[in-house]
Amino acid sequence: MPHQHGPTRSTRPRRARAHGRRQWAWIAAAGLVVAAVVTTVVVVGPSGGHRDAAGPDGTAGPSASTDRPVVGRKSAADAFPGGLARQPEAVNQPGIRERRARAEGREDTADRIAAIADQPIATWLTDTSRSATRETVRTVVRAAERADATPVFVLYNVPDRDCGNYSRGGTEADAYLPWVRSAAESMSGSGAVVLVEPDSVAQIGKCDRLRDTRLPLLRKAVDALSGHGLTVYLDGGNENRVPVDTMADRLRRAGVDRVQGFFTNVSNFYRVDQERAYADRLADAIGGDPHFVVDVSRNGRGWRGTWCNPEGAGLGQAPHVAGGTTRLDALLWVKTPGLSDGSCNGGPPAGRWWEAYALALVEHRARD
């Protein structure tokens, strides 16, 4: 506290000196009170200070305190060191089809499929077998290490996956966390990016039986993924699915404060500018400056009226790490182009290769 200069002690009466001491003591006490208030504001401020209100689906509420700890987010370059790794041949499904087409003498078809196979694509982990999952992870990690690039994995094995719809499946309830821990341990030290369970958060409002169990389970999955040097993103839905405040509340409940951020548009078709605007609003509502990634694998023609094998869809721009000047970390190919969304619009079961659709995506691709 700055000193207040006044008369010297030799010229000031004793009574005046006593009064001055009392005055300084009062000022010092007031200063301590002000400092305490300022300290409180500094601690609370960065967390975002959101007061959670009930959302339209009833899942919101007082889920997070205003002084919740928030992890420091990495830069885009630190989240994806070396850029995006390409999948090894053993797990690159479009590449397998490309080689098969060449072996059959269908060179033109193979060349078009190569437009998909040659891009960095996320590797989805869907096998309930822990040993099979570990082997897939090791295969992808070894290839990424040789290329000095970052592998991207998608965990897609949550119990009651897709709420019994086209992509139904997942582990048994008591097997999920051991499966996540096993996958995390096999990725440990790789610097991998992990996208946790597409649809798992956005779908809650349409599936009543998930309301009480899904978010606590995802929070435990975040715990299991922590401490392994991984960069983790949670499901942020997309722009036309869940109100921003509701989604922000769900993500805080799921543990977004302890990970890099969230992903949007996975297996969907919205354009980048729309998704970035939505993601920025969602990040603001969450607080703490979470980052995000956007799936651009099939959004080259934008929204086509349905999420399930829409006609006229095209490949999006080439996946790449962002420049790091915003909260957008990367534009990714999360969904593997050419795999069906489900038995809709003439498609095979979800996750099956559909060559005619893959070729149409190439034909209608975005031109960078």
Q: Which residues are marked as active site?
A: 162, 199, 341
Neighbour count for residue 34 (Cβ, 10 Å): 10
Q: Which residue has the tokens 């965990």?
A: 155
Residue among 168, 171, 187 at smallest CA distance from 232: 187
Question: 328-332 and 320-321 as β-strands: parallel, antiparallel, unpaired?
Answer: antiparallel
**In residues, how long is the chain?**
368
- CA-CA-CA-CA dihedral for 216, 219, 225, 230, to nearest 10: 150
CA angle 138, 190, 75 (to 5 degrees): 145
Q: What angle do CA 43, 47, 51 make, to 5 degrees?
A: 110
In the numeric block, the tokens 């582990």 are attached to 171
Max CA-CA distance within the chain? 109
Helix ranges, the chain (H): 14-44, 76-79, 93-103, 107-117, 130-147, 176-187, 214-225, 244-254, 272-286, 355-363
Tokens of residue 361, six digits: 């995506």
- Rounded to an integer, what distance in angstroms lies between the CA atom of residue 355 and that of residue 266? 20
